[in-house]
Chains A and B, each alone.
Chain A
C-alpha cells in the first residue's frame, strides 16, 4: 500500500550498528578521557536521533511533535547543571569531615 511511506529501515539499522561499533572503538583510543566522553555523548545523541527520526517516524510528523520529543532532553541536560553545585557542596563537606575526623571513622 502506497499510503504509508516507510524509510529504508535496514540502512538505518546498519548505520546504528556501525555507530555502536565506533563507540566501542572510541573507548580504546589513546586520547584524553574528556575527549572520549564528548565523543561518546555525540554518538549517543546521534543514535537516539536516528531512532527517533526514522524508526519513530518523527521526520514524517508535524514539527511541534518533534518539539514535544526534544523538550525532555533539554530539561535533563539543564538538570545536570542544576544538580552539580549541590553535588560539589556535599563532596566538599564530606572531604572536610574526613580531614577533621580521626582516620578510624572513615570506613562505613
Chain B
C-alpha cells in the first residue's frame, strides 16, 4: 500500500473488510488491541487477586506517592487529545499541522516514559525491588514493576510508532492517503492511554 491509496478509500484492497469497511488495518489493530487487553487484563486481575488475599500488602497510596503519577496521567490524556487533533487536521487537508500534533503526541509519550524512569529510580532508591520491599508483601514490588514496566514498554513502542507515522504522512503527497494510517496509530495510542487510566486507578489510587 503506497501512493495507490491517493484517492482515499479507492478500491485498492481486494475485498471490503467486515466491521470496518474503510480499512482492513483498522480491524487488524482492533483485534491486536483486544489480545493486548487480555494481556493487561490478566496482569491486573492477577494483581487484584494477590492483593485481596495478602495480609500485609502495603497501601500503595502511602508508599508510591501519587502527585507525580497524577501529572503523568494528565500528560497521557493530553497526548491523546493531540493525537485526535492530528487526525482532525489531516481530515481538513493540513499535513503540516497534522505532523506537528503527531510530534506533540510523541513528545508527550517521551516525557511520560522519562517521568516513569525517574519514578522507578526514586522508588528503587527507597528500597522497592522486584523481589522485596521494606513495607510488606514482596509481591507488591514484583507486580508494580511488571505492570508499570509492561505499560512503559507499550508507551516506548508507541513513541516509535508515532515517529514512523510522521514519516508516512510526510512521504504521501495527499493528506487523505495517510488518514487511515494515522487513525490506526491513534487507536494504539488511545489504548495505551486507556490502559494507564486502569493501571493508575488500580495500582496507585486503590
B 157-203 contacts with A by CB, 8 A? 176, 179, 183, 186-187, 190-191, 193-194, 197-198, 200-202
- Expressed in whole angstroms, the Cα–Cα distance for A23 and B23 within the complex equals 37
In the complex, whether B121 has a CB less than 8 A from a CB of chain A is no
In the complex, whether A104 has a CB less than 8 A from a CB of chain B is no
In the complex, the answer to whether A55 meets B70 with C-beta atoms within 8 Å is no
Number of interface residues of B (CB under 8 A): 58
In the complex, the answer to whether A84 meets B53 with C-beta atoms within 8 Å is yes
| A72 partner, pick from B41, B186, B190, beta carbons under 8 A | B41
Interface residues as binary, A46-80 with B (CB distance below 8 Å gives 1, 0 otherwise): 01100110011100011011001101110111011
In the complex, whether B45 has a CB less than 8 A from a CB of chain A is yes
Interface residues as binary, A69-108 with B (CB distance below 8 Å gives 1, 0 otherwise): 1011101110110011011101100110000000000001
- Asked, given contacts A20-B70, A84-B53, whether A48 binds B34 with beta carbons under 8 Å apart, the answer is no
| B46 partner, pick from A9, A72, A83, beta carbons under 8 A | A83
- Asked, given contacts A27-B61, A51-B194, whether A86 binds B85 with beta carbons under 8 Å apart, the answer is no
- Stretch of B74-82, B112-120, B122-130, B144-152 that contacts chain A: B74-82
Can you give 15 A-B contacts (C-beta < 8 A)? Answer: A13-B78, A20-B70, A40-B201, A40-B206, A44-B198, A47-B197, A62-B20, A68-B19, A73-B41, A76-B45, A79-B41, A86-B49, A87-B49, A87-B54, A91-B54
* Interfacial residues, chain B to chain A (CB-CB below 8 A): 8, 19-20, 27, 30-31, 33-35, 37-38, 40-42, 44-46, 48-50, 52-55, 61, 66, 70, 73-74, 77-78, 80-81, 83-85, 87-88, 91-93, 138, 176, 179, 183, 186-187, 190-191, 193-194, 197-198, 200-202, 205-206
